[in-house]
Amino acid sequence: MPEHKRLKGRDLLLTTDWRKEEIEIALQWATRLKELRRLGIPHMNLLPGKTIFLLFFDKSTRTRNSFEAGITQLGGHAHFIAAETSQLAHGESPKDMGIILSGYGEAIAIRHDLVPGEGQAYMREVARHATVPVLNMQCDIDHPFQMLADLLTLREQFGENTSGLKVAVTWAYAPSYAKPLSVPQGLLMLLPRFGIDVVLAHPPEYRLLPEALELARKGSAEGGGTISLASSMEEAAEGCHVVYAKSWGAAKLLENPEESLAVARQYKQWICDERLMSIAGPDAKYMHCLPADRGNEVSNEVLDGPRSLIYPEAENRLHTAKAVMALTM
């Protein structure tokens, strides 16, 4: 059986659930599908008539639209479900939902990211009863489709052999809301598996979840990349190829967002600006999953400047979503 055929019917709940070779297949498919779209070559024959259910417990721009546009371009259809407007709001069980939606379509995708200890557990319970692939559109632990898009962007920028790249993953101040921890955790869980050295920096209140760090350490042992800690943004950025500076909430305070934001205000100086990028070096690039708090997490000069990869990175969300849907559905 061709390797990619073995991915049919597979869940993607954490990037660590897939072997490196399987992630490589997804990236190759994303690259091919991106080229077909660039050339204007239709590929609606890949998932004709297939349906995916998109269940959201949180707001979304890139995730919802990349999945909806992606399934349309593959010949299928997406149903958007807001948790608060469905029977989930009245306590319908993940078992019932997983079984019933499995009978209506070919995949279930879920975003459930704001409460530590809940999102990944909920998805696993749905997957235990579903008979179709269950895909993680972001949880409390990981953001797999963003991670695949980030890795694809790094490969496009620096070449397919990413061994030896150094990426600074650093907390940055944002006043808007207490953001999930899944992006920094996901970066640590995936990038070192492909030989990338990750340097993590954050104020003491913004530690990542222990279970995510344990998965990250196992992945780094497999792939040869390293994970190290820095005490400041400046220390993390020094000599890096990429600065990935974004905000995330304090895990112990995510259920008390006002307190979390009050703690964050102590660290307004944690901003990615031209000064920080100069420490990284003249050729260093800036990445962010978006939305970014302009003037807080990052200066406009960096976000809109020639070092920024945010728009190619965001576009790649479409191609990685399409690749995984095409492979698994």
**Is residue 174 located within the same domain as residue 302?**
yes
**Is residue 136 located within the same domain as residue 254?**
no
Q: Which of 282, 279, 277, 253 is nearest to 266 (CA)?
A: 253
Which tokens go with 163? Answer: 């061994």
Q: Which of the 8 DSSP states describes residue 173? A: -
CA-to-CA distance for 315 and 325, rounded, in angstroms?
16
What are the C-alpha distances in Å from 176 to residues 27, 103, 169, 173, 265?
33, 40, 20, 9, 11
Domain hosting 100: range is: 3-142+317-328
| Residue 226 scores a pLDDT above 60 | yes
Q: Which of the 8 DSSP states describes residue 79? A: E
**Is residue 90 located within the same domain as residue 186?**
no
**Is residue 129 located within the same domain as residue 154?**
no
**CA angle at residue 114 from 110 to 116, to 5 degrees?**
105
The CATH number of the domain holding residue 40 is 3.40.50.1370
Percent of the chain at pLDDT > 70 equals 99
**Is residue 197 located within the same domain as residue 243?**
yes
Q: Provide the domain count of the chain.
A: 2
DSSP symbols for 81-138: EEGGGSGGGGT--HHHHHHHHHHH-SEEEEEE-SSTTTHHHHHHHHHHH-SS-EEEEE
- Kindly indicate the confidence band of residue 2, based on its pLDDT and cuts at 50, 70 and 90: low
**Is residue 44 located within the same domain as residue 109?**
yes
pLDDT tens for 288-322 read 999 999 999 999 999 999 999 999 999 999 999 99
Q: Return phi, psi of residue 201, to 5°.
A: -140, 140
**Is residue 153 located within the same domain as residue 86?**
no
Collapsing DSSP states into helix, strand and coil, what is residue 276?
Answer: helix
pLDDT tens for 26-73 read 999 999 999 999 999 999 999 999 999 999 999 999 999 999 999 999
CA-to-CA distance for 131 and 101, rounded, in angstroms?
9
Residues constituting the chain: 329
**Is residue 303 located within the same domain as residue 157?**
yes
Pairing verdict, β 77-82 and 134-139: unpaired
Burial string for 21-52 (b: 16+ CB within 10 Å, else e) reads ebbebbbebbbebbebbeeeeeeeebbeebbb
pLDDT tens for 105-157 read 999 999 999 889 999 999 999 999 999 999 999 999 999 999 999 999 999 99
Pairing verdict, β 242-246 and 77-82: unpaired
What's the mean pLDDT in 323-329?
Answer: 98
What's the mean pLDDT in 2-12?
Answer: 86
Contact 130, 101 (CB under 8 A): yes
- Kindly indicate the confidence band of residue 253, based on its pLDDT and cuts at 50, 70 and 90: confident
Q: Return phi, psi of residue 136, to 5°.
A: -90, 110
**Is residue 235 located within the same domain as residue 172?**
yes
| Residue 1 scores a pLDDT above 50 | no
Query: Helical H runs in 109-228?
Result: 119-129, 144-158, 182-190, 210-223
pLDDT tens for 74-101 read 999 999 999 999 998 899 999 999 999 9
The per-residue pLDDT of the chain, averaged, comes to 96
Q: Return phi, psi of residue 243, to 5°.
A: -110, 115
What is the predicted pLDDT for the residue at 221? Answer: 87
Query: In a 10 Å sphere around its CB, with 0-12 CB exposed, 13-18 middle and 19+ buried, how is residue 121 labelled?
Result: middle
**Is residue 244 located within the same domain as residue 262?**
yes
Percent of the chain at pLDDT > 90 equals 90
Which tokens go with 328? Answer: 């698994």
**Is residue 165 located within the same domain as residue 258?**
yes
**CA angle at residue 106 from 105 to 107, to 5 degrees?**
105
Q: Which of 193, 181, 201 is nearest to 280 (CA)?
A: 201
Burial string for 226-252 (b: 16+ CB within 10 Å, else e) reads ebeebeebeebbbebbbbbbbbbbbbe
**Is residue 24 located within the same domain as residue 102?**
yes
